[in-house]
Amino acid sequence: MNGVAGRGVLLTGASGGIGQCLALRLAEAGATVYAVGRRADALHALAARARPGAIRPVVADLATADGIDAVRRAVAAAPIPVSLLILGAADSRFGLFEHSSVVDVQAQVATNLVAPMLLVRALLPCLVRLPEAGVVGIGSTFGSLGYPGFAAYSASKFGLRGFLEALAREHADTPLRVQYLSPRATRTALNSVAVDAMNAELGVAVDDADLVAASLLEAIESGTRRRQLGWPERLFARLNGALPELVDRALAKQLPIVRRFARAAAPVVSDTALESRP
């Protein structure tokens, strides 16, 4: 049974564009959502839009050990036991890799890969004791094909996909269900103005966040192991696995446009300032 009604769901990235829509849909479907984010105001405003008690804010910075521990404690104290963990928090910083700072690289890998791994590690002992439990990773098309301008983000999402694949195989003979579900480009604050403009020039389809949330909930309830949303992204994700040279050629044609937007978006700062940029 994969339905969410009556279950406790821990959702990271709940204050984000897709996360807010997914939290509301989970609540509407009868789940109690423990909604994780850094912005308390956004989480409380979200909770006020659902039936009382359906969305419960958990304020935590997942890029820190304290944040991971705060989530672990919230789950341990949860009145409705958490049996579904949805890993949706992410950080994305568009730009040429040569312009990225140490902080840019560390923040994306910490939020998109290390935090999900540490959260699963912290919560797995509770999850495996339950008769039905699930872990859902929100991936990306860029977790299946590395995209120029998104090197660290792509690396983190490839890592998340590999981690969850191994975890699923480790639990192939247990009731724990592990899913990896990938949206394509979606209209949210994750994408900067430069990324939105680049997508428009490249003719990249950009989905509505609530429609993505609806597809994610449907995929969660269907129990599907992996799903890439959108066409032709589904084709390209598969093609990149089997025949990456073909995708190399397609993306080489897009490279001048990506470079132009990435260079325009790059901050003009010294090496020292780059290291300390937040």
Ligand X SMILES: NC(=O)c1ccc[n+]([C@@H]2O[C@H](COP(=O)([O-])OP(=O)(O)OC[C@H]3O[C@@H](n4cnc5c(N)ncnc54)[C@H](OP(=O)(O)O)[C@@H]3O)[C@@H](O)[C@H]2O)c1
Interaction between residue 89 and ligand X (CB under 6 A): yes
Site residues for ligand X, window 51-80 (CB under 6 A)?
Answer: 61-63, 67
Interaction between residue 145 and ligand X (CB under 6 A): no
Among 26, 84, 119, 190, which residue sits at the site for ligand X (rule: CB under 6 A)?
190
Write the CA distances from 176 to 110, 126, 224, integer angstroms. Answer: 25, 11, 13
Q: Which stretch binds ligand X (CB under 6 A): 125-133, 168-176, 178-186, 267-275?
A: 178-186
Among 83, 186, 228, 240, which residue sits at the site for ligand X (rule: CB under 6 A)?
186
Measured from the CB atom, the residue of 33 and 62 that comes closer to ligand X is 62
Shortest CB 21 distance to ligand X, Å: 8
Shortest CB 272 distance to ligand X, Å: 24
Interaction between residue 240 and ligand X (CB under 6 A): no
Interaction between residue 138 and ligand X (CB under 6 A): yes
For residue 100, give the nearest of 141, 148, 53 by alpha carbon: 148
Place of tokens 């804010």: 57
Interaction between residue 189 and ligand X (CB under 6 A): yes
Residues lying near ligand X in the complex (CB under 6 A) are found at 13-19, 37-39, 42, 61-63, 67, 88-91, 111, 138, 140, 183, 185-186, 188-191
